[in-house]
A and B are shown apart, each in its own frame.
Chain A
Amino acid sequence: MVINQIQLKDIIISARQESHRMRHYYLGVEHLFIALLEIRGGLTSNILSDQGLSSEYVIDAIRRKIGKGSSKHRLWPNLQETPRSDMVMSIAQDIASSHGRKNIQERDLLIAILEEDDNIPIRVLRALDIDMDKLQQQSRTKQAILPQTHSFIQLDFPSDFEGELDPDQLSILRRMFHGYSKVRIEAQLTGGYSGSILLVVTPFELDKRKAALVVKIGPADMILDEAKRYERYVKGTLPPLTARLEDRPTAPDTSELAGLKYTFLGNNSGNPTNMRGIVHQWSGVKIGHWLNEHLYSDFGENWWRQNRSFRFEAWLEYDWLLPPILTLELEQNENLLENANIIKFPLRRKRINKLDYGDVVVIDNFVVQKVDKEKKRIRLALGQGSEAARPYQIEIRGIDFEQDTYYRGEIVENIGGTVFKTRDEQLMMAARALEPDFDISSDRISILNKSMPNPIKWYHNILDMPVDGTLSTIHGDLHLGNILIGPSDSALLIDFALTRDGHTIFDWANLEMSIISETIVPQVPDSWDGARLLINHLVALNNPGRTLSGAPELREALQAIVALRGIASQCLAHKNRWTEYHISLSMCALRAMQWHTMTLASRRVMFLLSALSMFEIQNKPSREINENTPSPDPESTEFDQ
């Protein structure tokens, strides 16, 4: 039986449904094309999958480009075809006739849409960097394949393999290595974004061993975004010896997951390891040396040393690190929404902070960032396009996806809800989980006789601060799990899901978090007293010239941070003005305080580190404004022991 015999009638029904979902009430080429993509295992989804794009992803991109129609008006009674759809249909009819057929088939319609060449789906495919020539050619020649027909590939796991792959992940892995005889899984790399896994694998072609590579498997939209960011920000900026994305991602339309391959040029000697796994065997001095000599020197020129002047208010780059500013329960009762608080740009945060459980709000013109059909939630934020740092996230729960369609990138005209949880409540809960031995609700906390701001209270002040910084291409998620050590100790970065043009310092503050958590925290006792003791030693880092204190092992481990601060100092907009760094560090630490993947001891240190950075911000401005006074500021951090 030939499966490629979808009737035009069925395609039109599905196109009409799409039009209805989007409140368009006309039948455009975009609806026809989406209907083609929705045919599971169909020709259209198949040839796009060959170029590394899932149907879902392309459908959302098209929806984003057109936008949803207004909910208020319906201007014409019948679903009429647009002149362009008419044109496409007549081309498709010609193609069918030239093959002696009366009925238009999937392939005819696809070829017609490609031939017309001026319609929205084609414009979107071009924007997604699709190879149009290949698409044209495949639309004529490719036979639809049943998704289960790919050949069997043997997967070998080492006896000490600790991870566990679910069937969906295994199936992606098999598809990624289609054509190979065997794939040996060497190790699972720790760390990284929780929704995805990183594996070191060695593929075999007829028993011939190929070079090891790193595979990432995760939610399809994240993986495809990462591939796009790689094309845009990373590809042209890499040092000669490093990880690259050579192939298009593998994104079958039968799965919610997709996979990426990071290959390593010129590496045949052993498997890459990530720093998180190796860092415990290295001394602080060695880590510091490596950061300077490999990471910073290899990537610096095209990334962190771009040093374009960048002045912004802190919320623009840092608000997104915090929990959603509001979590709402969807509310559709028009009467209730009439007197609601309206949230729109420019945002008045003070008013939002006053909102309480049960208050009714309407959100105007926010952009959908995330759609979670399983948990019936969407996440909105300000700002569209490719920036990753989207401020003012708002989560809405209780969405009925049977009734309403939402897609990533959609600008939602307005949507109402009642307040379910505020940001302050979420931060308070996270702080309580640290089992504080002090009053967590007071405005200030005491660390070894020094009064410091309580970070979950004081962060509001940071968000409003103007930052005089620099803009560069940044990794966006630089931590030890994303840095691999290659041959001759070369630096290999992976995971470009958040790579963007952003505040240069952010990468280094983020990496500092990661190093402190992995190598410094284990040097002190797990208790709050241990955390406070560590903070007392970290103070010296903020005061150049002060000697490091503590046990020899701790002092040695801290050398990694000393070196990192040395790199950060080269990325500051103004020499020795560290407020820029402390703003970043305080927000990174406040975020890390909530991470359940971190140990309790680390999260406690993060909380206090955030307080310490805020304390430095509070006490440093006078010295930083008047740079010509190198003498120690009487207000600078001095601890009485």
Chain B
Amino acid sequence: MSIKPITLMYMSGVEDGTTIDLNPKTDGSIRDADWILSIGRKDDNDICLRNDTFVSRYHARLLWRDGKWWLEDIHSTNGSFTEDEMDTFHEIRFEGTIPVECGQLFRLGRTWLRIQPDNY
């Protein structure tokens, strides 16, 4: 399955509304058929959240695997969260790897992000 470029959008914070374009040819790493993008506060991450002090230096990874996007929390201090569908004010902290849909919001530290839906 071919890996398509994606766009990430900041949904909160000082960079709210900023988009980041990511291309498998130039960003992240490819291992077997997986595309791996690292996220954290340090500059050497593929996606660098330098303005959020609640984000760990190496916080999480986005993985393209089996035709789907997955989000993996790599033992971050302040956690990674998704929204509870029943109660938007209840955010669920997860450990390990969970699937994420395009358009679905997730939070790393205090920063909300989403993978833009295809038609954007």
- Chain A positions near chain B (C-beta within 8 angstroms): 24-26, 28-29, 61, 64-67, 69-70, 72-73, 75-76, 80, 82-87, 118-120, 123-124, 126-127, 232, 384-386, 409
Contacts and interface: CB of A to CB of B under 8 A. Distances in A.
B18 A83 contact: yes
6 contacts: A28-B14, A70-B54, A82-B17, A120-B12, A123-B88, A385-B90
Given A70-B54, A75-B50, A385-B90, 16 more contacts: A24-B14, A25-B14, A28-B14, A75-B51, A80-B14, A82-B15, A83-B15, A87-B17, A120-B12, A123-B88, A127-B89, A384-B90, A385-B89, A386-B87, A386-B89, A386-B90
Given A83-B17, A83-B18, A385-B84, A66 B90 contact: no
Contacts of A126: 88
Interface in B34-85: 50-51, 53-54, 84
| Residue of B88, B89, B90 ringed by the most chain A CB atoms within 10 A | B89
A598 B90 CA distance: 36
Contact of B16 (A69, A119, A127): A119
A127 B12 contact: no
A24 B110 CA distance: 11
Nearest to A126: B88
Given A75-B51, A75-B53, A64 B15 contact: no
B13 interface: yes
Contact of B53 (A61, A72, A118): A72
Contacts of A123: 88
A29 B17 CA distance: 10
Interface residues of B, number: 21
A123 B114 CA distance: 14
Contacts of A28: 12-14, 16
A153 to B, nearest CB: 36
Contacts of A83: 15-18
Contacts of A65: 88-89
A84 B17 contact: yes
Nearest to B86: A232
A423 B93 CA distance: 31
B89 A384 contact: yes
Contacts of A118: 11, 17
Contacts of A69: 53, 110
Contacts of B18: 82-83
Interface in B82-120: 84, 86-91, 110, 112
A28 B50 CA distance: 18
Contact of A26 (B11, B14, B87): B14
Given A70-B53, A70-B54, A120-B12, A385 B87 contact: yes
Contact of A61 (B50, B89, B110): B89
The 9 nearest A-B residue pairs measured at CB? A84-B17, A385-B90, A127-B88, A83-B17, A26-B14, A82-B16, A84-B16, A70-B53, A73-B53
B41 to A, nearest CB: 11
Nearest to B9: A118
A86 B18 CA distance: 11
| Residue of A69, A87, A124, A126 ringed by the most chain B CB atoms within 10 A | A69
A538 B88 CA distance: 46
B12 to A, nearest CB: 6
A87 B88 CA distance: 25
A29 B90 contact: no
Contacts of A84: 16-17
A130 to B, nearest CB: 12
B15 to A, nearest CB: 7
A85 B86 CA distance: 29
A66 B12 contact: yes
Contacts of A86: 17
A82 B89 contact: no
A67 B110 contact: yes
